[in-house]
Amino acid sequence: MATEIITTTPESEIVSSRVFNFKRTIVFRAWSDANHLKNWWGPNGFTNTFNEFDFRVGGKWSFVMHGPDKGNYANECEFLKIEEPSLIAWKRFSKPLFQVLATFEELSEDETKLVFKMLFNTAEECNKLKPYVVDKNEENFDRLEIELQKMI
């Protein structure tokens, strides 16, 4: 059975958001369909090998992110909560440990606000990653934008 989403304070969260000029159903599909997600997930220059993508509560997401210069980064995750087309949450079992809560808000028929929260157990854990991931999350959103344009 899936774990509950942890309760955090602003000091133990990294929050990134962006408004995309696409229908919410398309933005959600870019996150929920492995054939699209593998194309854009990660910062610039990264590629992905998905070993398992069982998109359901309690389902596993196992993948390797391949860095542009060197390094392969194994990721083991479990989906905690899915509310199509408004919410996806998962927990990482590989380090660094955190949960992700992604929400998809329909602003208009062709406009979706995505809020991407990385939730940590402590502010200390959060602060270790914050200097690196804020810009990387923006790169990830840039790559998502490119994938969304291919999907319409």
Question: Is 5 inside a domain boundary?
Answer: no
Strand ranges of the sheet holding 60-66, from the earlier edge strand across to the other edge: 13-20, 111-119, 99-108, 87-92, 72-83, 60-66, 47-53
Q: Which two tokens stand for residue 64?
A: 């390797």
**Average pLDDT score over residue span 75-91:** 97
Number of separate domains in the chain: 1
pLDDT at 1: 46
Does 85 reside within a domain? yes
SS3 of the chain: helix, strand, coil, percent, to 5: 30, 40, 30
Average pLDDT, integer, range 87-92: 98
Residue 2 placed within a domain: no
The CA-CA-CA angle for residues 90, 95, 99, to 5°, reads 25
Cβ-Cβ contacts under 8 Å for 80 (sequence gap 6 or more):
2, 3, 4, 5, 57, 89, 90, 91, 99
pTM of the model: 0.95
> In this structure, is residue 93 part of a structural domain?
yes
Per-residue pLDDT for 2 more than 80? no
Residue 5 has pLDDT above 90, yes or no: no
* Domain presence at residue 4: no
- The domain in which residue 48 lies consists of 12-151
Residues recorded for the chain: 152
pLDDT band at 16, cuts 50/70/90? very high
Quick check: is 6 in a domain?
A: no
What pLDDT is stored for residue 70 in this prediction? 87
β-bridge pairing 99-108 and 87-92: antiparallel
- Is the pLDDT at 8 greater than 60? The verdict is yes
Query: pLDDT per residue over 99-151, tens digit each?
Result: 999 999 999 999 999 999 999 999 999 999 999 999 999 999 999 999 999 99
- 18-63 per-position pLDDT tens digit: 999 999 999 999 999 999 999 999 999 999 999 999 999 999 999 9
pLDDT of residue 82: 98
Residue indicated by tokens 């999907």:
151
CATH of the domain at 108: 3.30.530.20
